[in-house]
Structure 1
Amino acid sequence: MEFGNDCKLIVGVDYGTTSTGVSYALTGSSQCNEVISIQKWPPNCPGLKVPSLVACAGSPGRSLWGFEVRPGMKSFAWTKLLLDPTFNCDSFKVEIREVAGALGILKLPEDRDAEEVVTEFLRHVHQHVCGELKRFLFDTMSPGRVPIEFWMTFPATWSEAVQSKLKRAASEAGFGDKVFTVSEPEAAALAVFRISKDFELNVGDGVLICDCGGGTVDVTSCFITDMNERGVPYFEQLTEETGSNCGGINVDCNLYRLLVTKLGEDFKNLSTTMVGPGSNFMKEFEYIKRDFNGELPYTLTLLGPVPREITLSPGDLRGIFDPVLDRILSLILSQIKRLMQSLERVLSTSKIIFVDGFAGSPYLQIQLKSALRQQMAEVGVLVAPTPERMVACGATVKGLQGIVAQHTNAVDIMA
């Protein structure tokens, strides 16, 4: 298949605190506007996202990342949070300080700052993405050079200065001199409205989008003003986006607190190899987070000098989740209150839609649906299909809508 001068690749990158997703679309072709998610990562691991982990070596380019990072390696996790200087003063940092050492998180190499570590991780992402795009283009069209435009997402709470840090890191990582950005809640909204038929949205609906990520939860409110001929809504964003550090990593922190209470020094003295990000212990707990519905106990295997099994009762797990869900609920209700106060016309929120990885938790879905329907009996509470891919897809949709980069990279599919 040949392509014209208007052909371009739009790539959305959702760089998250705990994991990263990438989607792309090709314009100017018969496949125009079909958003595709990358679903394979080194070393040949399937998944819609890759862990936001990097194990740095002595010099740039000599490091492992994502699924390549193995237990026991000196790795760096949750580094995205450290791009924001206000994070150090945030109550969240104080809350997790006691478990940060055990988790092996919020640390930096002695000779690098957060921006440099983020650059190292994004360099690997860029290299892998370009390889995937070349394979896609070989299957799609004749050889040549295709312009490429990158869109990065950022939390609603980030200032322009912090956004600039992310763009600099992306540029240094190879994404080009011109990196576009879109907020995570706006990207989530764009993705949701692109598949609006799944949610039975109508003109006049007030829709609240809640992006439940690993590190942050962001919320935005929209009003559907019209529909195009394909049933895709036109919408107006009604209030300022709001966010808070109450994502899935808070559940991890609560688990560590619980185990310190249960096991004391025996748990505190375990190495990050045994209990840190990427460890078998945390992989087991990730499964529990994705499966727990509030009713059954689970068993965790703790490998140490003396291996042991730890049973977490439903009450234990509810105690781990509930404080985090309470904060998410408070954020949503605060956004709705702000919406009511800021509008001259009366508008009801008819749909609340959850996206991103933490939204896949059955217990989160059950508890927040119940709590929200107690507050607003008629509201529809929904979860996007494959919620973890929504933000990256939305970033791609943002690029498809229209800002054309004056300076772009190009993928040479003859390389």
Structure 2
Amino acid sequence: MSSITRGLNDFKVLVSIDFGTTYSGCAYKSFANIDEPKLLDRWPDHQGHYVKTPTVNLYKKTGKRLDMVAWGFSSKLKMMDMEAKELSSKFLQLSQYKLHLDENASLPAWTANITVMQAISDFLKDFHNCAAEKIESQIAIGRENYRYCLTVPAMWSDEAKYVMRQAAINAGIISAGDDPDRLMLVSEPEAAALYCERTCKEYDLQQGDRFLICDAGGGTVDLIVYDVAVSEEGQTLSEVTKGHGASCGSIFIDENFATVLANRFANHDVKIPDSLLSELATAFAYQLKPNFKGDNDLRLQLPWNLFFSGLKNPARFDIHEGKMLFRASELREKVFDPVVSQVLELIRSQLDKARAQNRAKKMSAIFLVGGFASSAYLQSRVRSEFENMAKKIAAPNRPEMAVVYGAVYAGMNPRKVTARATRRCYGVGIIDAFDWSIDYLRPDLKFDLFGETLCRSRFSTFALSGQKIKMDECITHHYTLVNKIYGESSDYRFTVFAIDGDPPRYVTNLQGAAFISIPDPFSSFDPPGREISVQLSFYFGLSEIRVEATVQGKTFVTRLQFDQGTSGKLQKQLLFRSSREY
């Protein structure tokens, strides 16, 4: 795709992409009309009634090279047609790879011969091409006129968001030369909140109301609490708590079920084939899981094949008339509760944080969205646990579509959410005056320059974790660049840190999260010690952090560009230290 150089207002269509762990969806809306977003509900080799397509890649192995030959439903069909031996020797299936962008998830090591970013790029490329062709056929507007909203979990780090942006560029959704705002990253619970606020009119949210969004998907569960405000411009939302979550979505229930099923046969020294185990786990996920209420036994219809027809005394496996019985107590204890209890703890944590800010304010509603929200058992447990802490607990109509629809609303009105809470503590590494009352403990950081005693590797804070920042608000600090030596010239690079917890005094034990570069402002004739002021501004209002550095009347704008393997140390000819606020 060629670079787009025109203004953002020239784009005619907004496209939302809900890239999910297990399924992905797409919706779109023309900027020119007031119609509701339209959902793309048919994908290549579409099966069943679900309107999303599986987030699955199928690669053909050619030596060490992998070429993607199918995706979505098509990849599943191709795999079903292959023998297990052929599949393992000639092909590679990748699924649930989105989970590997959660730095806190406990997952097996990534062993594929491609990176996670490449797997995401490969899927998004074919997914987007398919979606764009359908949109072009329906509204006769070419994809060069599209802007995009791509959803990401609120709990993701800035680096994970950066990976998604780069994957979208690699997939050709936008080009590296486009205005970065042509692609807007939207947090999944925020998109879901906008969907609920717009569509759940029966709950009649009013000025001062507070509600919690629990976006429970296949892989991740994300939560945020919002306050509602009403003005002449309409209704707006502001974050009360910073979004957080965990990788505890419904696929982990499927994994628990597969373990229970495998153990049932292993207890009688019988090994169920892996392909059959996967088939039964999938059948459980679609046919039985949504209907489990906590006190009802479930019976899984078994396929007729040689494995089951050859079983001796099938009753010992609780198989009767071609169906396998799973008792409610076993399903609760071994399949559902290990996952549901994590979701309940996440909700409780968010409610506690919101209550700590205002104990007198009661939660008006808890909305459950995402595919996992269709679970009758999850809904009943949430109501049972929190009915005294919220006036209403509900799942909106079509909860699995809340994020993909809500992302369109976010793109059409990006200022609907007026304030957000920062996810982490952000700052930069600087050189500052040596404080003898504190810094004496770190003599290794002390040095003298031009008659001053300075301390290197100090942390300069821009935002605390959980700090509420208004839309379009920026935080600005002024610093001084000091020329150290004659002659040599290079860009000035300094390191940005994103940490959990309180700001540290030093950055010596921190891993740099990103870097920002500005061109060398000094000439070869500038003497050592010459100072130039630089203004650094951080914009935290959107899902990604934007930074502006202004030096000598020139402003350099960037989103955080993550350092790939470089040390992030200060350039040898420039020093960076605090200056007075202007």
Scaled to the shorter chain, the TM-score interval is: 0.7 to 0.9
Matches within 5 A, 1:178-327: 178=180, 179-226=183-230, 233-264=235-266, 269-276=271-278, 279=279, 281-294=281-294, 295-301=296-302, 305-307=306-308, 309-319=323-333, 320-327=335-342
Residue aligning to 1:331: 346
Residue aligning to 2:95: 77
Contact 1:353/1:382 (8 A) holds in 2: yes
Tell me by how many angstroms 1:48 deviates: 2.1
Provide closer, same or farther for how the CA distance between residues 248 and 287 of structure 1 changes in structure 2, counting only shifts above 3 A. same
Q: Say yes or no: does 1:156 pair with 2:157.
A: no
CA distance in 1, matches of 2:221, 2:40: 23
Contact 1:196/1:233 (8 A) holds in 2: no
Provide closer, same or farther for how the CA distance between residues 166 and 304 of structure 1 changes in structure 2, counting only shifts above 3 A. farther
Provide closer, same or farther for how the CA distance between residues 108 and 387 of structure 1 changes in structure 2, counting only shifts above 3 A. farther
Residue aligning to 2:523: none
Residue aligning to 1:353: 367
Tell me by how many angstroms 1:146 deviates: 5.8
Tell me by how many angstroms 1:215 deviates: 0.7
Provide closer, same or farther for how the CA distance between residues 145 and 35 of structure 1 changes in structure 2, counting only shifts above 3 A. closer
Residue aligning to 2:418: none
CA distance in 2, matches of 1:144, 1:80: 29
Q: Say yes or no: does 1:56 pair with 2:56.
A: no
CA distance in 1, matches of 2:380, 2:338: 15
Provide closer, same or farther for how the CA distance between residues 108 and 53 of structure 1 changes in structure 2, counting only shifts above 3 A. farther
Residue aligning to 1:412: none
RMSD of aligned alpha carbons: 2.8
Task: Decide which moves more: 256-265 or 149-158.
Answer: 256-265
Tell me by how many angstroms 1:316 deviates: 2.3
Residue aligning to 2:50: 47
CA distance in 2, matches of 1:83, 1:268: 37
Q: Say yes or no: does 1:388 pair with 2:400.
A: yes
Contact 1:281/1:301 (8 A) holds in 2: no
1:130-183, Cα deviation, whole Å (9 max, x unpaired): 111112214xxxx67761011111112211111111111111112112432011
**Structure 1: segments with no counterpart, 5+ residues:** 98-105, 404-415
Provide closer, same or farther for how the CA distance between residues 385 and 145 of structure 1 changes in structure 2, counting only shifts above 3 A. closer
CA distance in 2, matches of 1:155, 1:351: 21
User: Over alpha carbons, which structure has the higher Rg?
Assistant: 2
CA distance in 1, matches of 2:363, 2:352: 11
Residue type at the aligned position of 1:382 = A
CA distance in 2, matches of 1:107, 1:206: 41
Instruction: Find the residue that maps to 2:256 and give its secondary structure.
Output: helix
CA distance in 1, matches of 2:142, 2:169: 24
Provide closer, same or farther for how the CA distance between residues 53 and 268 of structure 1 changes in structure 2, counting only shifts above 3 A. farther
Contact 2:10/2:145 (8 A) holds in 1: no
What is the count of residue pairs matched by the alignment?
A: 372
Provide closer, same or farther for how the CA distance between residues 61 and 228 of structure 1 changes in structure 2, counting only shifts above 3 A. farther
Contact 1:108/1:117 (8 A) holds in 2: no
Q: Say yes or no: does 1:123 pair with 2:125.
A: yes
Residue aligning to 1:27: 31
Tell me by how many angstroms 1:57 deviates: 2.2
Residue type at the aligned position of 1:14 = D
Residue aligning to 1:66: 72
Residue aligning to 1:103: none
Instruction: Find the residue that maps to 1:16 and give its secondary structure.
Output: coil
Contact 1:156/1:184 (8 A) holds in 2: yes
Residue aligning to 1:132: 134
Provide closer, same or farther for how the CA distance between residues 113 and 272 of structure 1 changes in structure 2, counting only shifts above 3 A. farther
CA distance in 1, matches of 2:16, 2:305: 41
TM-score scaled by length of structure 2:
0.59
Provide closer, same or farther for how the CA distance between residues 304 and 245 of structure 1 changes in structure 2, counting only shifts above 3 A. farther
1:207-239, Cα deviation, whole Å (9 max, x unpaired): 00100011111110011111678xx73221111
Give the structure, 1 or 2, with the largest relative contact order (CA under 8 Å, sep 6 or more): 1
Provide closer, same or farther for how the CA distance between residues 332 and 145 of structure 1 changes in structure 2, counting only shifts above 3 A. closer
Contact 2:136/2:142 (8 A) holds in 1: no
Tell me by how many angstroms 1:304 deviates: 6.4
1:97-153, Cα deviation, whole Å (9 max, x unpaired): 6xxxxxxxx8653x2111111111111211111111112214xxxx67761011111
Tell me by how many angstroms 1:256 deviates: 2.1
Residue type at the aligned position of 2:100 = L
CA distance in 1, matches of 2:303, 2:268: 11
Q: Say yes or no: does 1:16 pair with 2:30.
A: no
CA distance in 2, matches of 1:131, 1:270: 43
Task: Decide which moves more: 39-48 or 233-242.
Answer: 39-48
1:288-335, Cα deviation, whole Å (9 max, x unpaired): 112222324222426765126532122222221122111111111110
Provide closer, same or farther for how the CA distance between residues 332 and 44 of structure 1 changes in structure 2, counting only shifts above 3 A. closer
Provide closer, same or farther for how the CA distance between residues 172 and 218 of structure 1 changes in structure 2, counting only shifts above 3 A. same
Contact 1:56/1:64 (8 A) holds in 2: yes
Contact 2:297/2:325 (8 A) holds in 1: no
**Structure 2: segments with no counterpart, 5+ residues:** 1-8, 310-322, 416-582
Higher helix share: 1
Tell me by how many angstroms 1:265 deviates: 7.5
Residue aligning to 1:407: none
Instruction: Find the residue that maps to 2:222 and give its secondary structure.
Output: strand
CA distance in 1, matches of 2:267, 2:330: 19
CA distance in 2, matches of 1:268, 1:285: 23
Task: Decide which moves more: 149-158 or 294-303.
Answer: 294-303
CA distance in 2, matches of 1:266, 1:13: 46
Residue type at the aligned position of 2:151 = T
Residue type at the aligned position of 1:190 = L
Instruction: Find the residue that maps to 2:307 and give its secondary structure.
Output: coil
Provide closer, same or farther for how the CA distance between residues 246 and 35 of structure 1 changes in structure 2, counting only shifts above 3 A. same
Residue aligning to 1:102: none
Q: Say yes or no: does 1:401 pair with 2:404.
A: no
Provide closer, same or farther for how the CA distance between residues 287 and 223 of structure 1 changes in structure 2, counting only shifts above 3 A. same
Instruction: Find the residue that maps to 1:187 and give its secondary structure.
Output: helix
The percent identity for this pair of structures is 28
Provide closer, same or farther for how the CA distance between residues 365 and 117 of structure 1 changes in structure 2, counting only shifts above 3 A. same
Contact 2:221/2:246 (8 A) holds in 1: yes
Tell me by how many angstroms 1:269 deviates: 4.8
CA distance in 2, matches of 1:388, 1:37: 12
CA distance in 1, matches of 2:51, 2:230: 32
